[in-house]
A and B are shown apart, each in its own frame.
Chain A
Amino acid sequence: MMASNEAIPADVVQSEADSTPDKDAPGVKTAPLLAPSVVLLLAWMIVPLGMTLWFSFQRYNLLSPNISGFAGFNNYAFLLANGALWNAIFNTILLVGGVLIATLVLGLVCAVLLNQEFAGNSVARLFCILPFFVMPTVSALVWKNLLMHPVNGLFAWISKSLNLPVVDWFTDLPLFSIGIIVAWQWIPFATLVLLTSLQSLDREQVEAARMDGARGWSLFTNITLPHLCRSLTIVAMIETIFLLSIFAEILVTTAGGPGNSSTTLPYLIYKIAMLDWNVGIASAGGVVAIILANIVALFLIRTIAHTLERQ
């Protein structure tokens, strides 16, 4: 959508070409090799995007087919004047931001703990990253029923045993509860990336810092944390891209409710499109979602383009 050309200086491409001996290999035409991927992705990007943009300016409701025609900015005006959109954007930011902070902090804790030497730490790592491979509908339903159910759930029993009030998670704290589930799914990703990064930390540098008297916390904040900085940024950006599309977890737990209290932007658009069948307004919402995602994507793509240069 926005390949940032300025981030890729020509000399990078040049040096890369020099490093491979086949740079002017005779008889190899790259165009036919690239064409299938490029054409497919181009079509995948342009066709639906163009249609979304086109529909967003149309009066188009599948339930009332005789109303049609150019709507100008009416769909956008309707959305922007409607509290539901702002509520959904607010909920989306709350959910994405909360989950992001939780996964970065807890992922860092997990990574540091798993990076220690202890009996069975490679087995522990396998179980720690387990949630990442659980499909979203399974994790949402397991949390909703087996753990967070206000009568029969494990948490309810723990609360009762400790004489604490029982929380009706999805009624009282719907967005927070969804956040817990999503964070649980994404902590392993942060853990894995940060663990990989921790293992590439230069032992000699750590030893040198130790010699200079750095211990525990100061070692962590002065040596480890700066080393992890780039990985933390990358985790944050990649997670944001995925978190902006959280859908199934909401659908099977709260369906956006109670009221609109856990309706995020993707879920709002889904409701307008698949329940109200209002193509025009849903498309306008889609354009808003695309714009929001691209603001994050711009930063992510720049960072990744920069790492390509450094290789």
Chain B
Amino acid sequence: MTSAKRIVSWPFVLGWGVTFLMALPVLWMTLAAFKTEAQAIATPPVLLFEPTLENFAAVLRRANYPSYFLNSVIIAGGSTLLGIVVGLPAAYAFAFFPGKRTKDILVWMLSTKMMPAVGVLVPIYLLSRTLGLLDSAIALLIINMLINLPIIVWMLFTYFREIPGEIIEAARMDGAKPRHQFFFLLIPLAAPGIASTALLSFILAWNEAFWSINLTSWRAAPLTAFIASFSSPEGLFWAKLSAASLMAIGPIVVFGWLTQRHLVRGLTFGAVK
């Protein structure tokens, strides 16, 4: 095991090689975040440098960054919470009291996910304008909730279905009412599944860009829209762009890693586990 030959094998070299290539853009961005602006655009690229935190300080100072971050938290967190509250009872009913229409309703819910956002851009924009919800976090919160609700219901449904029927049967024999079964038995049993569902919903809402860009200008703009504002060619602020980006993706990457095993189930609607 200790011999270098055993460790540095073909799978090792190829596996880490492909990993390096996949991670390179993010690694390169992370390096740039700690460079000065001059180092960030230098050719040949600067690899050895004294890291600086100036870019992070500059972004936090100048760009009202905390407000964008807060908007992202409100929109992603609020839509996830609301989605779970609305989706849990439905998933419970589908999993434990299936009726003749259960399959149809589940498949129909999935089909609402297939509607391309751009197909309903105009009505949603006009409705938001009429209701005074343009550039408001509420509109984005609700839209993200609706976009992710089918995934939430499906994912919770697959977790509930894995709970053995005998457990519920035993609880019922002991005289537990359905309401008590739900709150004191099923929710604790499905807690890991509920947590991964919430994480996935949070990630998807955090990274949502289409509606964020089209329905906000500055007051309610989340991080996706804020980062987009760096595309205007007003100069090469790569170090600051990198610092802002790193702060924007940091928390979500950690969440993503936490939930990676459940990601597949959520995004394939239980078709691949």
Contact = CB atoms under 8 A, between A and B. Distances in A.
Q: Is the interface of A mostly helix, strand, loop or mixed?
A: helix
Contacts of A241: 113-114
A256 interface: no
Nearest to B170: A21
B71 to A, nearest CB: 13
A179 interface: no
Nearest to B102: A13
A289 B98 contact: no
Nearest to A189: B267
A27 B178 contact: yes
Interface string A267-311: 001100110000100110111011011101100110111011001
Interface residues of A, number: 127
B67 to A, nearest CB: 17
A127 to B, nearest CB: 4
Interface string B74-103: 000000000000110110111111111011
A231 B249 CA distance: 28
A131 B16 contact: no
Contacts of B184: none
Contacts of B58: none
Interface stretch (A64-72, A190-198, A208-216): A190-198
Nearest to B23: A127
Given A134-B249, A252-B228, A286-B119, A34 B25 contact: no
B111 A49 contact: no
B172 interface: yes
A177 B123 CA distance: 32
Given A121-B15, A245-B117, A128 B209 contact: no
B149 interface: yes
A2 interface: yes
A36 B86 contact: yes
Contact of A126 (B14, B29, B107, B260): B260
Given A134-B249, A238-B268, A241-B114, A147 B18 contact: no
A145 B236 contact: yes
The interface residues of chain B, by DSSP majority, are classed as: helix
Nearest to B89: A33
A41 interface: yes
Contact of B115 (A45, A130, A147, A197): A45
Interface stretch (B5-13, B49-57, B188-196): B5-13
A17 interface: yes
Contact of A33 (B92, B149, B165, B168): B92
A252 B118 contact: no
A101 to B, nearest CB: 18
B131 to A, nearest CB: 12
B272 A8 contact: no
Contact of A301 (B102, B107, B153): B107
Interface string B177-213: 1100000000000000000000000010011011001
Interface string B5-37: 001010110111011001101101100100000
Contact of B18 (A128, A290, A305): A128
Interface string A190-233: 00110011001000000000000000000000000000001100
A47 interface: yes
A30 B98 CA distance: 9
A41 B87 CA distance: 11
B18 A113 contact: yes
A135 B107 contact: no
B120 A52 contact: yes
Given A36-B86, A154-B45, A251-B213, A133 B103 contact: no
Give the residue among B42, B127, B256 with the most A Cβ atoms within 10 A.
B256
A184 interface: yes
Q: What 4 A-B pairs come out closest when comparing CB atoms?
A: A297-B114, A51-B123, A116-B11, A48-B120
29 contacts: A3-B104, A21-B165, A44-B112, A55-B122, A114-B19, A119-B7, A133-B203, A133-B249, A135-B207, A135-B227, A141-B230, A142-B25, A142-B26, A142-B245, A147-B25, A193-B267, A238-B268, A245-B210, A251-B228, A265-B118, A285-B118, A286-B119, A286-B121, A287-B119, A292-B116, A301-B110, A304-B107, A304-B110, A308-B103
Given A189-B267, A300-B114, 7 more contacts: A1-B112, A38-B105, A41-B112, A52-B119, A133-B256, A135-B252, A238-B267
Interface of A: 1-5, 7-8, 10, 12-13, 16-17, 19-23, 25, 27-28, 30, 32-34, 36-38, 40-41, 44-45, 47-49, 51-52, 55, 109-110, 113-114, 116-121, 124-147, 151-152, 154, 156-157, 160-161, 184, 187-189, 192-193, 196-197, 200, 230-231, 234-235, 238, 241, 244-245, 247-248, 251-253, 265-266, 269-270, 273-274, 279, 282-283, 285-287, 289-290, 292-294, 296-297, 300-301, 303-305, 307-308, 311
Interface of B: 7, 9, 11-12, 14-16, 18-19, 22-23, 25-26, 28-29, 32, 40-45, 86-87, 89-90, 92-100, 102-127, 146, 149-150, 153, 161, 165-166, 168-169, 172, 177-178, 203, 206-207, 209-210, 213-214, 223-225, 227-228, 230-231, 236, 238, 241-242, 245, 248-249, 252-253, 255-257, 260, 263-264, 267-273
